[in-house]
Amino acid sequence: MPLPSDTLEAIANARDPSRGPLVVPWPLPGNFAGAVRFSTFAEWRSFILALSLGRAVPEIVASKFERAQKLFVLAWVDFDLIKAGELVALTALELALTDCYAGKESARRRELVAEKAEKEKRAIAKSELWWIGYTSFADLLKFMVERDGLTGDQIAMNRRCGPASKLIGRLTGEMRPSLTDIRNDLAHGAPSDGFPSAGLLELARDLIDRAYRDRALSRNDTRKSPLDIGAESVWRTVRETGQMLAGLNPRLDADEFVFCATNDADAIAKAQAFAIGWFREDEGTSLILEMGRAEALGFEVNLPMRRIVLAVNSALDGVGLTAAVSQTLAANDIPCNVVAACLHDHLFVPSGMAQRALMILKDLQANAG
């Protein structure tokens, strides 16, 4: 469940400005010991939300991972909450691996035990039955590598940051601290667990998405790390018009938004912390704000709009997607404001027409496939 807008405002305002930017250890290309800086709450929140799971992941796993994201967001106020978020992220990872691999590992062990018992002409021992039925977090991580064929090149964060990583060893336990060590220290209160593990939320996201890769809804249903902005993408973007339309995957945002404009420097500075986008024009600064937030900030509110996100990773130099989408909506008398960001295109349509626009776009995708 999204955090209410008044809660987001309270979080944004709760941080003492004298503390300066939020600095968080996070792997960077060529430097797994890197760090990233966030000057505003809006930057930090957008960074964390960009680490959401793919839509093929079951709701029960996704909801647990979203709890971890909320704790990371709250770290804007209390840095220690990152550690709580890491533990919840690893809990979501263990649940995902149990769902995807525990049955397979138990079946493999059952065959081994049955074969051994038959060879020795005896019944299966109780200890063997326990071994068959119990798969630990460490066992499941090893299964990813040894049985499911996970390599370093298949971990998105590894591809983004370069070959210097020893992530596979952290999964198998060959490198310390292993991912299991980190989880156990977080869960049981190790005295030296005070500093965050760089990029752990992103790694958990990558491993969960990898575990559910065979259930993906579309070959284009992938997402980037927020650190890929301005760097070489870890996912290939789509340029061909037909492929972009076939992978459209439109998603309707629950919130209502309005477009606002002002020349007041103080109003701009305050609103930018909550804007999902803004642009400096010759006549003033335009901002896209959640409608309730815009009203609270004193902006004139009219023409409420809903946002439809096109999940396809369309290239910035791709040709035809915007035209096809806007022309299709125009043919159905639906106005559309398109905002193209680095990761996705965002369509803003009048609130009363949003559901119809979503169905039209889904039809457009189905016909393109």
Taking the C-alpha atoms of residue 50 and residue 252, their distance in angstroms, rounded to an integer, is 16
Q: Are residues 154 and 254 in the same domain?
A: no
Q: Are residues 338 and 283 in the same domain?
A: yes
pLDDT > 90? residue 343: no
The DSSP line for 15-66 is: S-GGG-SEEEE--BTTBTT-EEEESSHHHHHHHHHTTPPPTTS-HHHHHHHH
* Strand, coil or helix: 155: coil
φ, ψ (nearest 5 deg) of residue 133:
-85, -15
pLDDT > 50? residue 39: yes
72 inside domain: yes
User: Considering 211, 230, 249, which residue would you say is the last residue of a domain?
Assistant: 230
DSSP state of 213: G
Q: Are residues 155 and 269 in the same domain?
A: no
pTM for the full model? 0.59
CATH number of the domain residue 298 falls in: 3.30.2130.10
236 inside domain: no
Where in the sequence is the domain holding 334, given as residue range(s)? 241-368
Mean pLDDT of 160-186: 84
3-state helix vs strand vs coil in the chain, percent to 5: 50, 15, 35
Q: Are residues 19 and 110 in the same domain?
A: yes
Which residues have a Cβ under 8 Å from the Cβ of 329 and sit 6 or more positions away? 335, 336, 347, 349, 357, 360, 361
Q: Provide the phi-psi class of 262: left if phi over 0, else alpha when psi is between -120 and 50, else beta.
A: beta
Which residues have a Cβ under 8 Å from the Cβ of 368 and sit 6 or more positions away? 242, 245, 246, 248
Q: Are residues 193 and 334 in the same domain?
A: no
Of 145-149, 161-165, 353-357, 365-369, where does mean pLDDT reach its minimum? 161-165
**What's residue 74's pLDDT?**
92
pLDDT band of residue 202 (cuts 50, 70, 90) is: very high
The rounded mean pLDDT for the chain is 82
Q: Are residues 223 and 270 in the same domain?
A: no
User: Considering 230, 249, 276, which residue would you say is the last residue of a domain?
Assistant: 230
Q: Are residues 210 and 134 in the same domain?
A: yes
**How many domains is the chain built from?**
2
52 inside domain: yes
Cβ 194 vs Cβ 14: under 8 Å: no
Q: Are residues 256 and 226 in the same domain?
A: no
Q: Provide the phi-psi class of 293: left if phi over 0, else alpha when psi is between -120 and 50, else beta.
A: alpha
Cβ 347 vs Cβ 357: under 8 Å: yes
**What's residue 218's pLDDT?**
41
CB atoms within 10 A of CB 259: 18
Residue 272 C-alpha from the chain's centroid: 22
Of 28-32, 74-78, 111-115, where does mean pLDDT reach its minimum? 28-32
Q: Are residues 360 and 314 in the same domain?
A: yes
User: Considering 199, 230, 261, which residue would you say is the last residue of a domain?
Assistant: 230
The DSSP bridge pattern shows strands 277-281 and 250-262 to be unpaired
Q: Are residues 39 and 63 in the same domain?
A: yes
Q: Are residues 46 and 140 in the same domain?
A: yes
pLDDT digits (tens, 9 = 90+) for 116-166: 989 999 888 889 888 988 899 999 999 999 999 998 888 888 887 776 557
235 inside domain: no
330 inside domain: yes
pLDDT band of residue 275 (cuts 50, 70, 90) is: confident
Cβ 8 vs Cβ 45: under 8 Å: yes
260 inside domain: yes
Task: Please report, for the chain, how many H helices and E strands are present, in that order.
Answer: 16, 8
* Strand, coil or helix: 180: helix
pLDDT > 80? residue 57: yes
* Strand, coil or helix: 348: strand
Q: Are residues 196 and 98 in the same domain?
A: yes
